[in-house]
Amino acid sequence: MKVAFAQLNYTIGDFEGNSDKIVSTIEKAKNNGADLVIFSELSVTGYYPHDLLEKKEFIQKAEETVLKIAGICNGIAAIVGAPRINESEHGKKLYNSAFFLSEGKIQSIHNKTLLPTYDIFDEYRHFEPNNEFCIVKHKGENIAITICEDLWDEQPSASEFGKDKLYQISPMEELIKFNPDFVVNISASPFSYNQEDWRKNVLISKAKKYKVPVLYINQVGAQTELIFDGGSVFISKTGEILKELKYFYEDFLIVDTKYIGGKQVQNPSGTIEKIHDALVMGIRDYFWKMNFKQATLGLSGGIDSAVTLVLAVRALGAENVRVLLMPSKYSSGHSLEDARQLAENLNVRYDVVNIQNAVDKFENELAPLFKGTSFGVTEENIQARVRGIFVMAISNKFGHILLNTTNKSESAVGYGTLYGDMNGGLAVIGDVYKMDVFKLSRFMNKDGEIIPENSIVKPPSAELRPDQKDTDSLPEYEDLDQILFNYLELNKSPQEIVEIGFNENVVTRVIRMVNMNEYKRFQAAPILRISSKAFGFGRKMPLVAKY
């Protein structure tokens, strides 16, 4: 059977745009001799619609769109994803479903069995799990249809607390009883820099265990913080990846399940390159899908704003990015020059606004209230908030979206100022640890210096007081990042982290900073997710707690 993989970029709730893409791709597949074309999970609505699924008109529109798509499926079949109403008197109102379309109508509906409720997933909030199994017969072939998590009944991260046995049923154990010729898995599997191998291993293990080919179609594109990397694959019954679609781009490929031909796989890329490509796509899609055109940010001469600017330019074009250089009396001359040089290297419009007069005015007005106190964090925060006022003014006046430049290490420990440097509509590197920010800068400079070398090698500093360095307030980033990674992403206890070899006092201090700054992160901009545990939807902690 000739099966077309349609790896597309959808927009949540854009029924017309999504269906136009789907319909045109079905026609393309038909014209190229395909018997079946497969689309990703919830392709009709976009993944994930969250509480839009509680709106009656949203579900009605989804149903109408599926019927519209079915109407053009003549001479070809298609599998699309959409919510479906549960007609039973019991359970949740909806199913997460795959619709098999052929001969101008819906031929069968296959509901998702395993509903993830961990990390960024909360599907059981809206969907009822499936408990009935069947296959599709098409063109003489038996097809088992599964939806994303249905193949993840055995978690690869069994060492993580609570992650080894999430489910009591295996959909494949039920479906294999029908002797399928191949398995289709329609998916919306978000990107994280360490998930690609996990994902492939899960798919390979299923193909080998059940001795059946797996056709895996994944979504591509970003939905605010969630980034989908594509990478759809065709895996043989022996667990060999025979065909692999592009990462971070829409793609289309027709595979003959009987006559595979030569292997077609993507060239492997390193972790930092993947993070770079994911963030560029995340920015681009956020602006495109929100109908935004231009971005702004404060360019300090430091590494974080430099990396954020390069990503923004690569996503939006230099003509759509404008930056402000905002020195104070504590800014080094080199920082201003580094920022200026970077803006010129990228051909980005920049303006220099010295904030010292504004800071002095605030301090003078507050002097009677602060009488008898010494210079401290409050005065430092005034500088950060004055900068925030200037960049927000540019954002408001010209319709530019402010990009936040805070990295994950600083966000984790609260090393940032609310309503100041934490301002922004999108946090670009909020899921990137500081040491990886440095690696990104080196990757960006691999073909020639874009980010000035001094921005990379100088000791990081907020430059809010004389001779300030980040390490005045924080451990060295090499240690800080490893402690944070073990605590946040590996979910290790303080004692377990100490046993790795870190100083107990440092570990206790870092974890205390993480826990006490939850309230700051709660008010922060949405973060582009590139790890397995990002701040935001995927990490829900109480703001008030004594644990």
DSSP E strand stretches across 88-239:
94-102, 105-111, 136-138, 141-147, 182-187, 214-218, 220-223, 226-229, 233-235
**54 DSSP 8-state letter:** G
| Contact of 196 with 274, CB cutoff 8 Å | yes
Calculate mean pLDDT across residues 53-61: 97
First to last CA, the chain: 57
Q: Look at residue 151 and tell me whether its pLDDT is greater than 60.
A: yes
Beta-bridge partners for 351:
324
Tokens, residue 344 = 């010129």
Q: Look at residue 437 and tell me whether its pLDDT is greater than 50.
A: yes
Q: How far apart are the C-alpha atoms of 339 and 179, rounded to whole Å?
A: 63
Cα separations in angstroms, 267 against 169, 231, 244, 264, 444: 36, 11, 10, 10, 19
**190 DSSP 8-state letter:** B
Res 34: pLDDT: 98
Q: How far apart are the C-alpha atoms of 248 and 222, rounded to whole Å?
A: 9
Calculate mean pLDDT across residues 399-417: 96
Q: Which of 12-16, 246-250, 266-270 has the lowest mean pLDDT?
A: 266-270
What's the pTM?
0.94
Residues with catalytic annotation? 41, 112, 148
The pLDDT-based confidence of 159 (bands split at 50, 70, 90) is very low
The pLDDT-based confidence of 259 (bands split at 50, 70, 90) is confident
Res 190: pLDDT: 96
Q: Look at residue 132 and tell me whether its pLDDT is greater than 60.
A: yes
Res 155: pLDDT: 64
Q: How far apart are the C-alpha atoms of 327 and 302, rounded to whole Å?
A: 12
Q: Which amino acid is at 143?
A: I
3-state secondary structure at position 316: helix
Q: Look at residue 162 and tell me whether its pLDDT is greater than 60.
A: no
The overall average pLDDT reported for the chain is 94
Q: Which of 51-55, 313-317, 460-464 has the lowest mean pLDDT?
A: 460-464
Query: What are 266-317's pLDDT values in tens digits?
Result: 999 999 999 999 999 999 999 999 999 999 999 999 999 999 999 999 999 9
The residue written with tokens 């709660």 in the block is 522
Tokens, residue 392 = 């927000």
| Contact of 404 with 524, CB cutoff 8 Å | yes
The pLDDT-based confidence of 426 (bands split at 50, 70, 90) is very high
Calculate mean pLDDT across residues 486-510: 96
The pLDDT-based confidence of 165 (bands split at 50, 70, 90) is low
Tokens, residue 293 = 């055109």
Which residues, 6+ apart, have CB-to-CB distance to 62 below 8 Å? 15, 44, 45, 82, 83
**DSSP state letters, 152-182:** -SS-S-TTSTT-S---S--HHHHHGGG--SE
The residue written with tokens 């106190």 in the block is 373
Q: How far apart are the C-alpha atoms of 82 and 325, rounded to whole Å?
A: 47
